[in-house]
């Protein structure tokens, strides 16, 4: 499954939001990755999420595969769009 989400945090995805995303992604048994500028990034890797360099207004495609993939897609996407600080 995959779906696009937009980063709404004016500060982008820096260390603290990236940590929240990795923590949430790691709570699911399925594979979760981000597609950003033709790069596939492991959403369970803090280094990978930070290296994506996501800024306010960027779109990220969340891709999930495996057990609880729909739940993971919805929760990770909601988290990406709800982080505002």
Mean pLDDT by 10 residues, the chain (85 residues): 96 95 98 94 96 95 97 97 87
**Whether 56 is catalytic:** no
- In the Cβ-directed half-sphere of 32, how many Cα atoms lie within 13 Å? 30
Q: Is 19 left (phi over 0), alpha (psi -120 to 50) or beta?
A: alpha
Whole-number pLDDT of residue 83: 87
Report the predicted TM-score, pTM, of the whole model to 2 decimal places.
Answer: 0.93
Query: What pLDDT, on a 0 to 100 scale, did the predictor assign at position 49?
Result: 96
Catalytic: which of 14, 31, 42, 79? 14
Task: Give the pLDDT of residue 85.
Answer: 76
């Amino acid at each position: 499954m995959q779906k696009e989400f937009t980063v709404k945090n004016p500060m982008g995805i820096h260390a603290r939001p990236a940590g929240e995303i990795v923590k949430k992604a790691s709570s699911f048994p399925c594979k979760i990755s981000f597609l950003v500028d033709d790069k596939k990034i492991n959403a369970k890797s803090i280094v990978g999420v930070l290296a994506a360099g996501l800024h306010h207004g960027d779109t990220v495609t969340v891709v999930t595969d495996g057990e609880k993939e729909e739940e993971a897609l919805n929760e990770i996407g909601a988290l990406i769009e709800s982080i505002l600080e």
